[in-house]
Each structure stands twice: as structure tokens, then as C-alpha cells.
Amino acid sequence: MKKTIVLFVLLSATHLALAQDKAKRLDSLMTELHQAKSFNGNILVAEKGNIIYQKSFGLANEKSNKKLDLKTTFELASLSKQFTAMGIVQLEKEGKLSYDDKMSKYIPELASYEGITIKNLLTHTGGLPDYMEFMSKEWDKSKIATNIDVITTFSKLKPAALFKPNENWDYSNTGYVLLATIIERVSGKTFGDYLKAKVFKPLGMKNTFVYRRRFKPEKKNNSADGYVYSDSLKKKITPDEVADAFYVIYLDGIVGDGMVNSNLEDLLKWDRALYTDKLVSQKDKDLIFSSYKTTAGKETEYGFGWVPEQNPVYGKIVSHSGGWAGFVNYIERHLDNDKTVILLQNNDTEETKIPKKNIRKILYNQPIEKPFILDLAIQKLYAGKYVSDKGKEDEILFEEGLFMPLNADVKLKLIPISKTKFVVDGFSPEVTFEFILNPNGTVLKYRVQQPEKGVDREAKRIN
């Protein structure tokens, strides 16, 4: 008996020492990032539900100098999709809908889009064009759009589908907007009221809610403001200070793909609940955390509101990132090893980082990677226009670093990892750009890869 007690004490002491070392290394990493203006927000890291590190860095409000604290709520952006998916899974479990039901059964206004199922919407395999780009061209920006406005606009103008259902995978905010509408029409509750009654309240998530701060302003205590960087003003500002026609303002009334707000404490409750059957069964969770295939047999590497990854070192991980209106967030759950990482940020600037790689390395007692520094003069050489084999033109911009414009409002930063290779900041699974040079150093083309999604294409330099 005494030997058993001594062994238990030794193991407990060793475990405590390891946790303290990890906490120290995490604090060093995050402090360095905050000092470099690459992290402004809250972080929580847990092992088997036990918090080994949590801390707040920076301000919740730049004007009042109010600091963030561990209970501050953040707009979750696309992390909201996991809650939308959970709502659909619950309704399926109750027999109120089927994953194989056609979308048009619940949204007859979009019956012209044939064959799209609820499962297609969940897994981004429906082929609907993204409403954000479409609404930026068609919507009266003096008004704030809602879900029904998206549906009405699609019904009226009928933008062409990108592909037939199940034929391909393309990340679709539109699909999750429609899923939220299906939840409302099936349950008879608003999206926010449904999640409150069926998810947030049962789990004791008292600081989690659906909130559209411009469409329906309310007084919220201890809520962070989101900030973006203004090139013209050379400072951080809120999206509301950009212009009335800024997309995060006129799209503020839309829910399902975003608009859930929460904090570290509540998201850890959410994480822990997903290891139980409190909301849904293990069979349901197996569906939520699985990757789905296209008709050609290609893995989508996307489940129901989560990105599953089978990592050869760390085991199965499910994660999701989200960026919107100055907020940059990330959550990942190591299912085989029960580790949790939650990052909530309220600054979206060129410097903002999601340091998931190094956090993983610390959690598994590995040495972290140091950033690769590449002279700006070399980076500038890669800027220019490129054309793919299919004739699609892209442009790599140089603005004290390299950027790939995603649309009129969003630019993706390319982070150097070698002299010729870059990663797209914040993307999961990772996207790389590699620039191919001829022997005299002239840029010939770039190669962009995302192996998990089957992306491997090249584009030739044309100027």
C-alpha cells in the first residue's frame, strides 16, 4: 500500500512539473507574439479538461483602454458553424428532419437548385456560390441584410451553382446561412433562441449568445470590440469606422455562418460536453467529426462544422478557425489525447497570428519552430500577375509583405517559411505557395498546394 501511495505521489508530481513547464513555454510564446503585435486576445489550453494555461493579452476597447479579461466575450465568426451543425444534428436525432432531405423541402424559394441536401450544406458539397461575394455586387448597402434577404436575392437572381451536389467541395458560408434558416423553420424558434434553449442553457454556457451588434444593438457587459488596420489612417479602427458600405456592416443581420458570441469559460464547457452524450450520442459525434467524400471519392476533410485531421504525430484532431469584423478565432480538440486549444482575438491585422503549430509542439514536449525572416526586397520580386492553365488571372501584391487578394475586401497574407516557399496565414488545412525560379533568378511561376483538399496547381508569371 505504501509503495502504491509513493508511486502515485511521484506520478502526480511529475505530471504537475510537466504541466508547469508547458505553461511556462506557452506563456513565453504568447508574450512574444503579443509584444510583436501578433496576438491580442485570450488563450486557454487544457489537458483532459484541466486548464494548464489561460491568459488575456491586450485591450478589449482601444478608446477606453479597457483591458481584456478571461471572461470577455468575443464574436466567434465561423466557429459559429459548429453550433449551427449541432442544431441540425439535434433536429435529425428528434426525427424532425433527415440529412438526406432536399434543401428545397424547407426552403422552397430555392427549388431551382436541384438535388442539394441538408448533408451537402453541412459538408460544403452543395455547390452554392458564396453569398458574401454575390451580395457585395447586388445588395443595397444602405440596408442590413438578413437570412431571408439572402434567400430572396438568390431566388430572384438565381446565380449559377459552382458544381453539381457532391461533385466537389467548396467552403460555403451560404450553406450555413440556409442551415440556420432550416433550424428556424423546423423548430419554430429564432436561431438564437433555439441554440439558447437546446445548447447553451443545458451546458451552463451563460456567456454565449447570438448577437448582431449592428442589426440589433444591445448593451453587452464585458464584450470585446473587433479591430482592423486602416492603411490610410495608419492605425487600428473598428469596422464601423471604415465606411457604412463595409461588408461586415451590411451583412450583420445574417446568422448561421457566424454571429455566435462566447468566451473561454463557455467554450471549454462546450468542449467537455462533446466528450459526453449530453447533447447527442457517440454515433452522432462520429458523423460530426468525420470527413466526407465527393462522388469521385476525394476526401473533403470537412465534417459537420468541424475540420477533422488524422495527424501521424498527434492523432485525431478536429478544429475550426474563424475571422470576421476584426475577430480572429481558433479552436482545436485532440480527440485521441484529450487536449484543447482555444484562441480568441479581437485584432485582425497583417501581423495577427494563429500559432497553432507551436502550441501543438509545446503540448507534446517538442521544440518550437522559430519564424523564418525573408528580406522584403526578395519578397517584392514575387509580386506580379499570374495566369493558370485555365486562363484565370491572379495577382500577388506587395505591401511590405506578400498578399493574395481573395476578393475586393479580403487579402490573404503569405508568410515565408523559406526563400521561395510561403504559407497562407490562418488557413487550416495549410495552404502553401512556392515560387519557381529559372537559373538567373527570374520568377517563372508559382505552385499552390493544399494536399488535404487535393489542391495542386500552377500559375505562370505574365508581368
DSSP string, 368-398: PPPPPP--HHHHHHT-EEEEETT--EEEEEE
The catalytically annotated residue of 38, 56, 78, 319 is 78
- Evaluate if residue 257 carries a pLDDT over 60: yes
Work out the pLDDT band at 242, boundaries 50, 70, 90: confident
Long-range contacts of 368-375 (CB under 8 A, 24+ apart): 368/25, 368/29, 372/416, 372/417, 372/418, 373/416, 374/416, 374/419
- 397: cell is 501584391
Cell 449530453 locates to 278
Distance between CA atoms of 27 and 364, rounded to whole angstroms? Answer: 16
Please tell me which residue, 231 or 251, carries the higher pLDDT value. Answer: 251
- For residue 397, give the nearest of 363, 346, 433, 437 by alpha carbon: 433
All domains in the chain, ordered by first residue = 77-363 (3.40.710.10), 376-461 (2.40.128)
Specify whether the backbone of 4 is left (phi greater than 0), alpha (psi in -120 to 50) or beta.
alpha
Q: Indicate the range of 44-48, 186-190, 208-212, 217-221 predicted with least confidence.
A: 217-221
β pairing state of 347-348 and 339-345: unpaired
Q: What local confidence, expressed as pLDDT, does residue 14 receive? A: 66
Distance between CA atoms of 405 and 387, rounded to whole angstroms? Answer: 14
Q: What is the pLDDT of residues 86-123, one digit of tens each?
A: 999 999 999 999 999 999 999 999 999 999 999 999 99
Work out the pLDDT band at 370, boundaries 50, 70, 90: confident
What is 38-66 written as a DSSP string? Answer: S--EEEEEEETTEEEEEEEESEEETTTTE
Residues 6+ apart with CB under 8 A from 13: none
Work out the pLDDT band at 390, boundaries 50, 70, 90: confident
- 8: cell is 502515485
Q: Please confirm, yes or no, whether 262 is among the known catalytic residues.
A: no
DSSP state letter for 197: I
Q: What local confidence, expressed as pLDDT, does residue 380 receive? A: 94
- 255: cell is 446568422
Locate all alpha helices (DSSP H) within 251-407, ordered by sequence: 264-273, 282-288, 356-363, 376-381
Distance between CA atoms of 123 and 240, rounded to whole angstroms? Answer: 32
Distance between CA atoms of 254 and 149, rounded to whole angstroms? Answer: 9
Percent of the chain that is helix, strand, coil (3-state, to 5): 30, 25, 40
Per-residue burial over 255-269, b = 16 or more CB atoms within 10 Å of its CB, e = otherwise = bbbbbbbbbbbbbbb
- Evaluate if residue 9 carries a pLDDT over 60: no
Residues 6+ apart with CB under 8 A from 351: 36, 37, 38
Q: How many helices (H) and strands (E) does the chain have?
A: 12, 22
What is 407-418 written as a DSSP string? Answer: SSS-EEEEEESS
Work out the pLDDT band at 362, boundaries 50, 70, 90: very high
Per the CB < 8 A criterion, the answer to whether 251 and 145 are in contact is yes
- 31: cell is 508574450
Residues 6+ apart with CB under 8 A from 359: 26, 29, 45, 341
Please tell me which residue, 221 or 285, carries the higher pLDDT value. Answer: 285
Q: What local confidence, expressed as pLDDT, does residue 428 receive? A: 66
Whole-prediction pTM: 0.83
Mean pLDDT calculated for residue range 376-400: 92
Q: What is the pLDDT of residues 392-448, one digit of tens each?
A: 898 999 998 999 887 766 788 898 989 999 988 867 677 899 999 999 889 999 999
Give kind and range of the element (H or E) at residue 193: helix 191-195
Q: What local confidence, expressed as pLDDT, does residue 319 receive? A: 96
Mean pLDDT calculated for residue range 446-463: 88
Cell 505521489 locates to 9
Q: Which residues pair with 61 in a beta bridge?
A: 66
CA distances from 341 to 56, 124, 442 (A): 14, 25, 42
370: amino acid identity, one letter: K
Q: What local confidence, expressed as pLDDT, does residue 1 receive? A: 66
- Evaluate if residue 132 carries a pLDDT over 80: yes
DSSP state letter for 317: E
Of all residues in the chain, what percent carry a pLDDT higher than 70? Answer: 95
210: amino acid identity, one letter: V
